[in-house]
Amino acid sequence: MALALSAPNTPQSPALFPALAGLLVIGWSSGFVGIRYTNEQASVALLLFWRTLLSGLIMLPFALAIGPRLKLGAVASQMGFGVMAVFIYLGGFALAIEQRVPTGLVALIADLVPLAIAAMSQPLLGERLSRRQWLGTAIAVSGVLIVSFDSLSFGAAPLWAYGVTIGAMLVFAWASVLRRGRESLNMPVHQSLCIHSLTGAVLFGACALAQGGLAPPLTREFAIGMAWLVLIATFAAYSVYYTMLRLFPVAKVSAAIYLSPPVTMLWAWALFSEPLTAAMFSGLAVTLLGVWLTVRN
């Protein structure tokens, strides 16, 4: 849906893009950091249940009152995408953070979705990639491997947790490729995001019940974490993201999102004392080079 948007040919202040990009990077990276912060108070299933439930309920009146009438078939299609986009994708990297995979690495892998979509488009949709794009994808993946192998030396997370992050990213990319051309998935953002959130709430709620219950911790830290995740990581981040898609080219907006992993690494270092190493920044630089080769033009 985002790829269908185009930037208008209207004059813009030179300071507009840097200002919005800064807000986007802060909002986008705050999602990873917010999960890491709130996970100190509750399990991943419980915190994601409350995050998606609150987000969905806040958007529900607007989804019902504004936009086209919601039909059962369209809602069912959005629910199916919500399983992959929220429950598997969001739940996958949240689980990895819970297992203490470095937060910056999780952000780096999660933000490689556009590269995975480009790689899957050729076999699934017949969209041919250039040699430069394949080279860029390979370089970006090698950068992720550099960061991954360096973080393995910390010894805090099991090996399977790294695989969960990669698997969740690939599932979301696969779902994004399959949704192309499906009219039932083309609806206003506030409606689709509401359906995705409530679908995730049902599934995360079932997981939280199996682990003990749905009652939230009555602590100030949990309340702060929820406000952080709902208001900043969900509403603010997506609002800025879709505003930028209407004002600037898609590739330019994507380039801003790729700045979120280093910001996430800095947040995690400052707030949770997660280590920063030269190899992590080297791998990040290699990944950004690969991303640039893939998305330019």
Each residue's pLDDT tens digit, 278-287:
887 788 788 7
CB 136, CB 293: distance < 8 Å = yes
Q: Is residue 13 part of a domain?
A: no
Phi, psi (deg, nearest 5) at residue 213 = 155, 175
Residues 251-272 have pLDDT tens digits of 677 667 777 788 888 888 888 8
Which band of pLDDT confidence, cut at 50, 70 and 90, is reported for residue 1?
A: very low
- Tell me, what's the pLDDT at 5? 43
pTM for the complete prediction?
Answer: 0.80
67 φ/ψ sector (left φ>0, alpha ψ -120 to 50, else beta): left
Q: Which domain holds residue 150?
A: 29-295
Distance CA 219, CA 245 (A): 37
Domains in the chain: how many in total? Answer: 1
CA distances from 161 to 47, 51, 95, 151 (A): 18, 22, 7, 12
- Residue 145: inside a domain, yes or no? yes
CA angle at residue 18 from 15 to 19, to 5 degrees? 80
What percent of the chain clears pLDDT 90, i.e. is strictly above it? 21
pLDDT tens per residue, range 166-216: 899 888 888 877 766 566 567 788 888 899 999 999 999 999 999 988 999
3 within some domain: no
> Under a CB-based contact definition with an 8 Å cutoff, are residues 146 and 283 in contact?
yes
- Inform me whether the pLDDT recorded for 123 exceeds 80: no
Give the pLDDT score at 136.
Answer: 76
Q: Does residue 5 sit within a domain?
A: no
**Residue 229 resides in a domain:** yes
DSSP one-letter string for the chain: -GGG---------TTHHHHHHHHHHHHHHHHHHHHHHHTTTS-HHHHHHHHHHHHHHHHHHHHHHSSSPPPHHHHHHHHHHHIIIIIIHHHHHHHHHHTT--HHHHHHHHTTHHHHHHHHHHHHH--PPPHHHHHHHHHHHHHHHHHHHHHHTT--S-HHHHHHHHHHHHHHHHHHHHTTT-GGG---HHHHHHHHHHHHHHHHHHHHHHHT--PPP-SHHHHHHHHIIIIIIIIIHHHHHHHHHHHS-HHHHHHHHTTHHHHHHHHHHHHH-----HHHHHHHHHHHHHHHHHH--
Distance CA 294, CA 118 (A): 9
> Looking at the predicted structure, is the pLDDT value of residue 126 above 60?
no
For residue 179, being part of any structural domain is answered with yes
Kindly report the length of the chain: 297
171-210 burial, b for 16+ CB within 10 Å, e for fewer?
Answer: bbbebbbbbeeeeebebebbbbbbbbbbbbbbbbbebbee
Whether 22 is in a domain gets the answer: no
Question: What burial letters (b/e) apply to 261-285, b meaning 16+ CB within 10 Å?
Answer: bbbbbebbeeeeebebeeebbebbe
Average the pLDDT over 53-72 and give the result: 91
Domain assignment present for 171: yes
